[in-house]
Amino acid sequence: MNKSGSPENQSASELVDRRIANLADWRGEILSMMRKLIQDADPDVVEEVKWRKPSNSMLGVPVWSHDGIICTGELYRDKVKFTFARGASLEDTGGSVVGRQSRSEPSNATSRRELVALVVDLRGVNVGDHRTFRPTTLTKQLAHLNALNIGAAGTFVIRQPVTQAQLRAELASRIPFDTEIMIYQGREIVRLMSHHHFADQPIGPDLVRFVSVLSKRPRSMPSMPMNFPPSGRWLLRPSGGYCESSQGTTRGE
Q: For 235-252, what is each residue's pLDDT tens digit? A: 888 887 765 677 777 886
Range of the domain at 244: 197-251
| Cα-to-chain-centroid distance, residue 12 | 21
Answer yes or no: pTM beyond 0.85: no
pLDDT for 57 beyond 70: yes
Q: What is the pLDDT of residues 6-20, one digit of tens each?
A: 666 788 888 898 888
Choose among 196, 194, 154: nearest CA to 174: 154
Residues 12 and 102 in one domain: yes
Most confident of 62-76, 93-107, 149-163: 62-76
CA distance 219 to 216: 9
CA distance 10 to 156: 39
Residues 12 and 103 in one domain: yes
CA distance 38 to 198: 17
In a domain, 1, yes or no: no
CA distance 149 to 147: 7
Average pLDDT for residues 18-35, to the nearest whole number? Answer: 85
CA distance 170 to 227: 40
* Counted domains in the chain: 3
Last residue of a domain, one of 108, 137, 167: 108
Residues 129 and 177 in one domain: yes
Q: What is the pLDDT of residues 80-139, one digit of tens each?
A: 888 887 665 555 544 444 443 444 544 444 344 445 688 888 887 766 566 777 888 899
Q: Find the angle CA(182)-CA(161)-CA(93) to the nearest 5 degrees.
A: 115
Q: Are 45 and 90 in contact (CB under 8 A)?
A: no
